[in-house]
Amino acid sequence: MTPLAVLLRQEAFADADIIRLLGLTDPSDCERLRRAAYDLTTGIIGDKVHYRGIVEFSNRCTLNCRYCGIRRDNPTLDRYQLSMAEIVESAVWAAENRYGSVCLQAGERRDWPFIDFVTECIRLIRARIVSATQPDGASITLSLGEQTLDTYRRWREAAGGADCMRYLLRMETSNPALFAHLHPGGFAHEKGYAARIQALENLRTAGFQVGTGGMIGLPGQTLADLCADLRFYQRIDADMLGMGPYILSQGADMGAEGMMEPAPLLQRALNMLAVARLVLRDVNIAAATALQALAADGRERGIAYGCNIVMPNITPRAVRKAYQLYDNKPCIDDQPTDCSACLEGRIRSMGRRVGWDEWGCSRHFRRRLGLALPDRPSLSAETQAAKSVHVGIPLRRGPARTDPAADLTSATDRSR
Ligand code: 5AD
Ligand code: FES
């Protein structure tokens, strides 16, 4: 068998190699994998981590995905919908706090009032967020499920001409049988495997930076399935990936199927992130919030394993509890946990920097479109040092925040 050290230096991987890497459990092997992914990330993308402030603006959903805590048939949930003003204000708060990007996420709806509502939100956010530090305004990621090509075009056009629009549409799993099991038939607007792939293609046609991904550790999912997921992301030429561990949700419909034990699940998820970096190289990879449901420093571990994006929750606190996709979701308690400041401390403690005010476009996207690539910043001394640091990252919590606007973090770099 090829020694691990040799395997990790390869630029292309056979399926058998990928499956071997995904299944690593020995701590020193996992550390080697982590180190290879981390070094490739800082080598290709640089030492910056970019924020996308996520606004979970409604938990109303017309679908019934069996894994999902906000599915339509969960009767235990108070349903909410933020007003347009609340959404725009959240986005403006993100910009004032120097996040270069916001993400609008909600349960899936395809009715005209919803489509028009989102169109107007995009228009208003683009109009409101232009400043000296963000002269091109905000970039916006949408995470609003399957829509028609016409709707995707409408939303893309509402943003104006800039290449500022991204869309996250997770495939969830590339295994058609597992996909069908997660999304059973019989509901209005039910999901189909082919429809999901078509939607991803439509997003590309409409001009979005396209993000996809899936859940890791689903009941019945094998390492070969995860390898096939990576091949799928390669095939559709994804610009961004959002992947996280599957976590059981009381409000969902999969309680009887259980979930993996937290420690091996976390390691499997981290391995998947690292192998995704090795295989897909210059894509943006988000450290999913679900990692933090398994370990307090789960997202930082994601960064240590090759992620370069985090999505601090900027949803108004009053409604956060009602957007519980899975149990033990972090940052929803009544105590004002400051996602932004506590994250910056943790990112700095790893020798990385936050890309304040920057869109943080996927390098893969820019390369795909033949756009100029931003210069790769030379790595700071801290980043160089962090290459040899193990992932036992110290947990640092910032001060509790009561007034979001009072939490202006210092500027470090204003370049795009
Ligand atoms: N565990 C982990 N991730 C989940 N999601 C939904 N339910 C769960 C769960 N129980 C993820 C899905 C979806 C994204 C918005 O949240 O992958 O695409
Ligand atoms: Fe709402 Fe799947 S249950 S999108």
Domain limits at 236?
10-406
pLDDT more than 90, % of the chain: 71
| E runs forming strands in 294-411 | 309-310, 353-354
More confidently predicted of 188 and 413: 188
Reported as type and span, the H/E element at residue 391 is: none
More confidently predicted of 200 and 403: 200
More confidently predicted of 380 and 279: 279
Å from CA of 326 to ligand 1 middle: 7
137 Cβ below 6 A of ligand 2: no
Q: What is the pLDDT of residues 30-49, one digit of tens each?
A: 999 999 999 999 999 999 99
* 411 part of a folded domain: no
pLDDT band at 131 (very low <50, low <70, confident <90, very high): confident
306 Cβ below 6 A of ligand 2: no
- Mean of pLDDT values over 107-135: 94
Q: What is the pLDDT of residues 234-255, one digit of tens each?
A: 999 999 999 999 999 999 999 9
Distance of alpha carbon 110 from alpha carbon 60, whole angstroms? 11
* 310 part of a folded domain: yes
* 280 part of a folded domain: yes
Distance of alpha carbon 38 from alpha carbon 25, whole angstroms? 18
Cα–Cα nearest to 104, from 139, 131, 144: 144
Distance of alpha carbon 323 from alpha carbon 182, whole angstroms? 19
Distance of alpha carbon 121 from alpha carbon 103, whole angstroms? 12
| pLDDT value of residue 405 | 26
Tokens of 169: 């549409």
Degrees, nearest 5: CA angle 296-55-309? 55
* 415 part of a folded domain: no
* 23 part of a folded domain: yes
- Counting from 1 in the atom list of ligand 1, the atom nearest the Cα of 67 is 10
Alpha helices in 104-259 (DSSP H): 112-128, 149-158, 176-182, 193-206, 223-235
Beta strands at 215-216 and 309-310: parallel, antiparallel or unpaired: unpaired
Distance of alpha carbon 238 from alpha carbon 246, whole angstroms? 21
Q: Are the C-beta atoms of residues 285 and 306 closer than 8 Å to each other? A: yes
Å from CA of 150 to ligand 2 middle: 21
Distance of alpha carbon 14 from alpha carbon 89, whole angstroms? 48
How confident is the prediction for the chain on average, in pLDDT? 87
In a 3-state reduction of DSSP, which class is residue 302?
A: helix
* 248 part of a folded domain: yes
More confidently predicted of 249 and 133: 249
pLDDT band at 334 (very low <50, low <70, confident <90, very high): very low
Q: What ligand has the least distance to the C-alpha of 64?
A: 2
Q: How far is CA 131 from CA 127, 136, 227, in A?
A: 11, 8, 43
Distance of alpha carbon 164 from alpha carbon 371, whole angstroms? 13
Å from CA of 248 to ligand 1 middle: 10
| pLDDT value of residue 351 | 86
Å from CA of 215 to ligand 1 middle: 7
Size (the chain), residues: 416
pLDDT band at 410 (very low <50, low <70, confident <90, very high): very low
The structure's pTM equals 0.89
Alpha helices in 237-353 (DSSP H): 262-280, 290-294, 298-304, 317-320, 339-349
Distance of alpha carbon 336 from alpha carbon 263, whole angstroms? 28
Helices and strands, counts by H and E, the chain: 16, 11
Torsion 15-29-171-363 (CA) sign: negative
Q: Give residue for tokens 């149990």.
A: 327
| The pLDDT of residue 87 is above 60 | yes
pLDDT band at 333 (very low <50, low <70, confident <90, very high): low
| The pLDDT of residue 384 is above 60 | no
- Counting from 1 in the atom list of ligand 1, the atom nearest the Cα of 254 is 10
| The pLDDT of residue 400 is above 80 | no
More confidently predicted of 18 and 412: 18
The least confident of 134-143, 186-195, 264-273 is 186-195
Q: Are the C-beta atoms of residues 226 and 174 closer than 8 Å to each other? A: no
Nearest CA to ligand 2 atom 2: 65
pLDDT band at 392 (very low <50, low <70, confident <90, very high): very low
* 1 part of a folded domain: no
* 5 part of a folded domain: no
Q: Are the C-beta atoms of residues 279 and 306 closer than 8 Å to each other? A: no
| The pLDDT of residue 186 is above 60 | no
Tokens of 8: 């990790």
Distance of alpha carbon 354 from alpha carbon 332, whole angstroms? 23
107 Cβ below 6 A of ligand 2: yes
| The pLDDT of residue 200 is above 70 | yes
Q: Are the C-beta atoms of residues 211 and 238 closer than 8 Å to each other? A: yes
Q: What is the pLDDT of residues 66-81, one digit of tens each?
A: 999 999 999 999 999 9
pLDDT band at 288 (very low <50, low <70, confident <90, very high): very high
| The pLDDT of residue 306 is above 50 | yes
325 Cβ below 6 A of ligand 1: yes
pLDDT band at 409 (very low <50, low <70, confident <90, very high): very low
Number of domains in the chain: 1
CATH of the domain at 330: 3.20.20.70
pLDDT more than 70, % of the chain: 86
Å from CA of 229 to ligand 2 middle: 20
